[in-house]
Amino acid sequence: MIGFTFLYTALIFNPKQIADNLKQNNGFIPGVKPGQPTTDFIGAIMDKITLPGAVLLAIVGILPGIASKLGVTQGFSTFFGGTSLLIMVGVILDTLQQIETQLLMRQSALLVSKTLAEVAKVLRPGISSLVIDKMIGEFIYDHKAVPSFLNYRGYPFNSCISINDVVVHGFPNHDPLREGDIVSVDIGVILNEWHGDHAYTFSLGDPGEEVAQLIRVTKESIEKAVAGNRVGDISFAIQEHTEKKYGYGVVRELVGHGLGKSLHEDPQVPNYGKRGSGPKMREGLVLAIEPMINLSSRKIYTEEDGWTVRTEDHKPSVHFEHDVCVKKDTADILSNYAPIEAAEKANENLFSDYYQQLVH
């Protein structure tokens, strides 16, 4: 029984492959160096989980024999042992499956981060959003994944590229980007059957103090929102920081969501609400938290194409999104803004001065 448990774990989980995938997608385990140290760390964690589970399975497996020697009827001891064994196997396999799921979803999220970093390298006045979208699709396919958005409910592009007063779901087009444009890029991928989905807003050149503050505050809000026990805690944190503190318009009609083998799963995650309200967040739940914040009014409308959402007053809107896994007493951010920020700062066409004022 012990040998079978270790064999099963070895067949299902390959620490070196997991470590290599993390490195390729710019991912890391906090406090652990990439490469062999990460492989050793994952292997050690798996051993710590597998050994106790294997021992427990072995104990449960010999319970019928012990029970028989103690005078318990054979029928009862066999039933007890078999039932206990099934329960233990189920618990251990479920735990291993949760670990595998989180690792695979991290890889999907990190591929989105890596793709957004590539976008940050080439964004400039004069390039069209359609060229960017084509590049996004090619990059995703080159990494053995599929764009989540393409053909999703009929959506015809690899990504959503929303400019200035477009809140979300902007169609890429041939129009050249201009100095001063605010460009929100939202990307989803399917890798190993699991979705990654997040967004980042860029500014081509200095957008002015008013819009720069909107970008900064929206980005701060997503960092403040990755904590709490209920969905309403996330909603409250975003609304408190953006609407109540700065007077910005928090979009009501569009929300964040659960994420997994489907692009949109329960629960919905509004960007407004009351602390302590909403569904309780279970450990292992993955959420796409995405504040969509308007400079002025929260009112929006959808264009005739059925997708493009604009602010009613045509003032700018900013959109950031993170993939977050709920853990006990904390949150594990699966996506990684670090490579995006590095590329953004290195691109002289992009404005990043607002970093100096970010409040973490």
Average pLDDT of 106-126? 97
Task: List all residues 6 or more positions away from 90 whose beta carbon is below 8 Å from its beta carbon.
Answer: none
Q: Which domains does the chain have, with CATH numbers?
A: 2-100 (no CATH), 110-357 (3.90.230.10)
CB 272 within 8 A of CB 261: no
Q: What confidence tier does 244 reach under pLDDT thresholds 50, 70, 90?
A: very high
Confidence of residue 240 (pLDDT cuts 50, 70, 90): very high
Tens digit of each residue's pLDDT (9 = 90 or more) over 144-190: 999 999 999 999 999 999 999 999 999 999 999 999 999 999 999 99
Report whether pLDDT(299) > 70.
yes
Cα angle 18, 20, 23; round to 5: 110
- pLDDT one-digit tens code per residue, 337-358: 999 999 999 999 999 987 766 5
pLDDT of residue 11: 47
**Interval 216-239 mean pLDDT:** 92
pLDDT band at 66 (very low <50, low <70, confident <90, very high): low
What is the CB neighbour count within 10 angstroms for residue 316? 25
Mean pLDDT throughout 21-48?
A: 71
Where does residue 329 rank: exposed (0-12), middle (13-18), buried (19+ CB within 10 A)? Answer: exposed
What percentage of the chain reaches a pLDDT higher than 90? Answer: 64
Give the model's pLDDT for residue 174: 98
CA 255 to chain centre: 14
| Radius of gyration over every alpha carbon of the chain, rounded to an integer in angstroms | 24
Indicate the pTM of the whole model.
0.77
